[in-house]
Amino acid sequence: MRSLPELTKLYYTISEVAEMFEVSTSLLRYWETEFPSLKPKKDRRGDRKFQVKDIKELQQIHHLVKERGFTLEGAKKELKLGNRAELIIDTASLTDKLQALKAKIQEQISKL
């Protein structure tokens, strides 16, 4: 996956983001229409202002489409599955933590 420069600004222009990924600004605008999760803010003039979360989303899209050769439909499915997998992992981790906490509480209760 393409590494990004250090993202220190709050907002980045479409030109800056296009340069980061070495793609055209029109491709970024097209991806915005194809991927509903990609929603950069727009200023009064309608210029796109990309935040770090938008750039990370683009990083995933770029990796799937340009580096791994996914179709846009395939990339959409992969992003959905990836998000679900993260949710499942987070849920499993949370369950483990809660069970450990429950055991500690029961141990403390038994000492009383």
The Cα–Cα gap between 60 and 24 comes to 17
pLDDT score, position 88:
44
Give the pair of three-digit tokens for residue 86: 């993260």
Tens-digit pLDDT profile for the chain (112 aa)? 777 788 899 999 999 999 999 999 999 999 999 999 899 999 999 999 999 999 999 999 999 999 989 999 999 988 888 755 444 445 666 777 888 899 999 999 998 8
Give the pair of three-digit tokens for residue 8: 């220190």
CB 51 within 8 A of CB 11: yes
Nearest alpha-carbon partner for 7 in 26, 24, 20: 20
Q: For residue range 41-55, what is the model confidence (pLDDT) as tens digits? A: 999 999 999 999 999
Give the pair of three-digit tokens for residue 7: 């993202």
Sketch out the chain's domains with CATH numbers: 12-111 (1.10.1660.10)
DSSP 43-83: -TT--EEE-HHHHHHHHHHHIIIIIS---HHHHHHHHHHHH
